[in-house]
């Protein structure tokens, strides 16, 4: 890029009169001018310096789902303005302005949208935040949307991906917004209990009550380059502890270096990375070349024993135990598929085999109780 590229937009603005000003966007990191189409094609990443600008939730979703196709669900209606809050403006007015600005007025939408569709052919539920809607702040409606996303994931037996872009809890809803922190944590727990993956894709910024609740609970924590991720702001911390914080503190890269984030992934590679990660986590179809621990006759033994059901108990138990090990390695998420078959073939002892992972916590609990 030369000085000519820098000056071109200014000349064009002089020559042609009715050029809307927003055709060129100035990169906040390197001050280069970028043509808006080029910027959109590049998913709002500066082509000169790689700076990741904020992107609208729907635009992001279109870039993640297969063929850009996804369906939004309408989260349950939440109480609006329970505190009748007013600062310089009424909270209801602020909401209305934000809804008008983000095109969410008809649906009464809020800062989070819930969408489902497929990524790499796998069903996925996504809860994405729109920072342009009141700073992506989490109030009752956002909490409601996140819980709805988690329940939809459980219902569809699909992984959940959260994409926070939020300044934290919504001040206008006072303590009710803080209550969304435990609510979303419980929602994550529901996904976990259903043995489904939960991925947190932290974008700029992921701070306050959002980072202090579900955002940091991902089985896999992914962040976008340069994203600010933290709880309190740097200045607040410095004032409190009276110490200078290191450079790059609370950036995605810093958190990655210190083990709080698993990967920092550029936006262009995000879809591929998510698909690859989900494939590792769910394996919708077990690969054909599963290597069994023992040759075929031993695997066939429990099935052969099914009609007879008279084989030595101890032997059938150990065999099914061994099989469950190989199977759980080969197809961790194939529980529903193998469940009924395993139940039939098992009869007594092996019946618990397929359910074993899900039932494990209960078993432990009852074991503890028995111990007491």
| Nearest CB to Zn ion, comparing residues 48 and 195 | 48
Residue 102 main-chain phi, psi, to 5 deg: -100, 5
Q: At closest approach, how far in Å is the CB of 272 from Zn ion?
A: 23
Question: What is the Cβ-side half-sphere exposure of residue 33, based on CA atoms within 13 angstroms?
Answer: 16
Q: At closest approach, how far in Å is the CB of 30 from Zn ion?
A: 3
| Spatial distance between the Cα atoms of 223 and 276, rounded to a whole number of angstroms | 16
On the 0-12 / 13-18 / 19+ scale of CB atoms within 10 A, 333 is middle
Residue 112 main-chain phi, psi, to 5 deg: -115, 140
3-class SS at 120?
coil
3-class SS at 180?
helix
Q: At closest approach, how far in Å is the CB of 202 from Zn ion?
A: 21
Q: At closest approach, how far in Å is the CB of 195 from Zn ion?
A: 42
Stretch that binds Zn ion, among 42-50, 146-154, 170-178, 266-274 (CB under 5 A): 42-50
Give 17's contacts (C-beta < 8 A, 6+ positions apart): none
Contacting Zn ion (CB under 5 A), which of 27, 56, 187, 202?
Answer: 27
Stretch that binds Zn ion, among 24-32, 102-110, 195-203, 255-263 (CB under 5 A): 24-32
Residue 46 in contact with Zn ion, rule: CB under 5 A: yes
Residue 48 in contact with Zn ion, rule: CB under 5 A: yes
| Spatial distance between the Cα atoms of 250 and 235, rounded to a whole number of angstroms | 11
| Spatial distance between the Cα atoms of 144 and 82, rounded to a whole number of angstroms | 15
Stretch that binds Zn ion, among 20-28, 98-106, 145-153, 258-266 (CB under 5 A): 20-28
Residue 54 in contact with Zn ion, rule: CB under 5 A: no
| Spatial distance between the Cα atoms of 96 and 108, rounded to a whole number of angstroms | 9
Q: At closest approach, how far in Å is the CB of 160 from Zn ion?
A: 33
Residue 49 in contact with Zn ion, rule: CB under 5 A: yes
| Nearest CB to Zn ion, comparing residues 49 and 186 | 49
Stretch that binds Zn ion, among 30-38, 136-144, 179-187, 234-242 (CB under 5 A): 30-38
Residue 29 in contact with Zn ion, rule: CB under 5 A: yes
Strands 160-163 and 198-202: parallel
Q: Contact positions toward Zn ion, by CB under 5 A?
A: 27, 29-30, 46, 48-49, 51
């Amino acid at each position: 890029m030369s000085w000519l590229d820098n000056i071109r937009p200014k000349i064009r603005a002089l020559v042609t009169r009715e050029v809307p000003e927003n055709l060129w966007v100035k990169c906040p990191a390197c001050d280069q001018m970028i043509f808006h189409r080029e910027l959109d094609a590049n998913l709002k990443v500066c082509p000169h310096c790689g700076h990741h600008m904020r992107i609208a939730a729907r635009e992001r979703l279109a870039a993640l789902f297969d063929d850009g196709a996804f369906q939004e669900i309408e989260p349950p209606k939440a109480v609006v303005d329970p505190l009748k809050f007013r600062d310089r403006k009424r909270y209801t007015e602020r909401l209305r302005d934000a809804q008008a600005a983000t095109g969410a007025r008809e649906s009464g939408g809020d800062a989070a949208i819930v969408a489902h569709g497929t990524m790499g052919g796998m069903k996925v539920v996504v809860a994405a935040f729109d920072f342009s809607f009141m700073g992506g702040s989490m109030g009752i409606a956002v909490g409601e949307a996140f819980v709805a996303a988690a329940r939809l994931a459980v219902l569809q037996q699909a992984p959940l991906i959260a994409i926070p872009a939020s300044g934290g809890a919504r001040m206008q809803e006072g303590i009710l917004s803080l209550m969304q922190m435990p609510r979303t944590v419980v929602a994550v727990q529901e996904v976990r209990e259903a043995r489904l993956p939960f991925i947190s894709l932290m974008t700029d910024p992921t701070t306050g009550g959002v980072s202090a609740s579900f955002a940091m609970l991902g089985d896999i924590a992914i962040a976008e380059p340069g994203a600010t991720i933290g709880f309190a702001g740097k200045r607040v911390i410095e004032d409190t502890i009276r110490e200078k914080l290191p450079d790059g503190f609370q950036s995605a890269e810093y958190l990655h270096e210190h083990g709080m984030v698993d990967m920092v992934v550029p936006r262009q590679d995000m879809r591929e990375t998510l698909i690859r990660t989900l494939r590792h986590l769910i394996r919708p179809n077990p690969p054909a070349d599963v290597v069994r621990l023992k040759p075929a006759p031993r695997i066939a033994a429990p099935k052969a024993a099914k009609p007879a059901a008279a084989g030595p108990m101890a032997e059938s138990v150990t065999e099914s135990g061994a099989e469950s090990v190989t199977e759980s390695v080969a197809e961790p998420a194939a529980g529903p598929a193998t469940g009924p078959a395993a139940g039939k073939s098992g009869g007594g002892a092996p019946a618990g085999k397929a359910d074993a992972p899900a039932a494990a916590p209960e078993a432990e609990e009852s074991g503890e109780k028995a111990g007491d």
